[in-house]
A and B are shown apart, each in its own frame.
Chain A
Amino acid sequence: MHSKSSDPAVPLPATAEQGLKIAVVGGFGVGKTTMVHSISEIRPLHTEETMTRASSAVDDLHGVEGKTTTTVAFDFGRITLDETSVLYLFGAPGQERFWFLWDRLFTGALGAVVLVDARRLADSWYAIDRLEAQGTPFVVARNDFGGPPHTLDQIRAALDLPESIPLVDCDARSRDSVKQVLVTLVRHVHSLSTTPEAV
């Protein structure tokens, strides 16, 4: 069993200079934080970002700057890759009302894992649409919750997922399983990066 150091130990190497990110997205309760926890070298941390958006034209007519403020919460963990690189995994809310967070969170991300629950596939439609629209490379992982068996082909059809996008089974509680999902993602992005016409 892998032992996790107690917080807030595990400082990064003094030579760390490159922060990388991968996002884990999916519906509420699908296991995003569990997945991050399984592989992170620190206990997942929780924080928030407040988004302030500019006023509408109507407000401008009155010479008053209108603002809407929304707070989004997310969990994250990290994996020190080597002496210079550290990978952060973000568990991102997949709900539609957080769409404006996405562009920001995914800026510079290597890619994303869409975590799905076979019993609630509709929860991931929005996430998949959004990632495709943004051109963020991603893979889909079915978290094993037991329940009625569906083949991955059935899931692929239900999600209307192109063959080019990897779809794998995983157990978000298992470090090895989560590691395999991340390896699948990075291999996928690598193949895209070396064969641009394959997009």
Chain B
Amino acid sequence: MSRPVDRESPDRLYTITSGRSRGGDEVFDAVTLVVAECDPTPGMQSEHSRILRMCQRPMAVVEVSARLGLPVNVVRILLTDLLDAGRITARHPTAVNSAVSPFASPDVLEKVLVALQKL
């Protein structure tokens, strides 16, 4: 299918994240949709540039991860950098379940059902 991400050199991952191993967990769900708000600028870290080019249309965090060939947790750190700099916006999934009900709302489910049946 695609090359295994873990062939990456750990040194390279360390460099990409400036040695950080945590960040963005709370902000970026796996299916948070990321949208670029500007074009890459010269001198920008190459991974940041690639994300901005990739996200001209919305793209989920896991998809950015797969297409960059970098683990999801590394991508979350890169996205946090871009978000803090105002270069991307994040469209977070609205909570489909809550402490009150573990299930998605009937409205959401009906919408999904209609769309699936049309496939």
Contact = CB atoms under 8 A, between A and B. Distances in A.
Given A52-B21, A137-B102, A88 B57 contact: no
Contacts of B29: 19, 107-108
Contacts of B111: 81-82, 85
Interface residues of B, number: 48
Given A12-B58, A45-B67, A189-B103, A19 B32 contact: yes
Nearest to A19: B31
B44 interface: no
Contacts of B4: 46, 48, 73
A186 B111 CA distance: 10
A14 B58 CA distance: 6
A47 interface: yes
A174 to B, nearest CB: 13
A19 B93 contact: yes
Interface string A28-65: 00000100000100011111111110000000000000
A78 B115 CA distance: 13
B4 to A, nearest CB: 7
The main secondary structure of chain A at its interface with chain B is mixed
A76 B30 CA distance: 11
Interface string B41-75: 00000000000000011111011011100011110
A47 B102 contact: no
Interface in A11-25: 11-14, 16-21
12 contacts: A19-B30, A19-B31, A19-B91, A44-B1, A45-B62, A47-B71, A87-B112, A88-B60, A110-B108, A137-B103, A179-B117, A189-B103
